[in-house]
Amino acid sequence: MCIQPKKTHGFVLTDLPGPPESFRPKEITETSVKLAWSEPNNTGGCDITDYHLESKEATRAKWSKVRVTGFAGLVRLLFQGN
């Protein structure tokens, strides 16, 4: 959600940004995958400053945060068959 300050007082709620574009695997190894994407066509009227990416093992309920740099994130500790 994009919130921008009003000149008079308070804040104005603008549009929600769309999903990232061109989400794809960029580099794949036996134990990791680097995912990449582009900024959405609709940014909701705001600058997008960061992205949140999470991963989890198929048999577990807990999600883990993935470190994201710019428009890419590296998911590590992948296991074949999971």
What tens digit of pLDDT does each residue of 17-28 get? 888 999 999 999
Q: How far apart are the C-alpha atoms of 51 and 68, rounded to whole Å?
A: 7
Q: How far apart are the C-alpha atoms of 60 and 76, rounded to whole Å?
A: 16
**Position 39: which residue type?**
E
pLDDT in tens, 26-69: 999 988 999 999 999 888 877 888 888 999 888 889 999 998 98
Q: Concatenated DSSP letters for 61-73?
A: S--EEE-EETTEE
pLDDT in tens, 65-74: 998 988 889 8
Q: Say which CATH architecture domain 17-75 belongs to.
A: Sandwich (2.60)
Q: How far apart are the C-alpha atoms of 27 and 45, rounded to whole Å?
A: 31
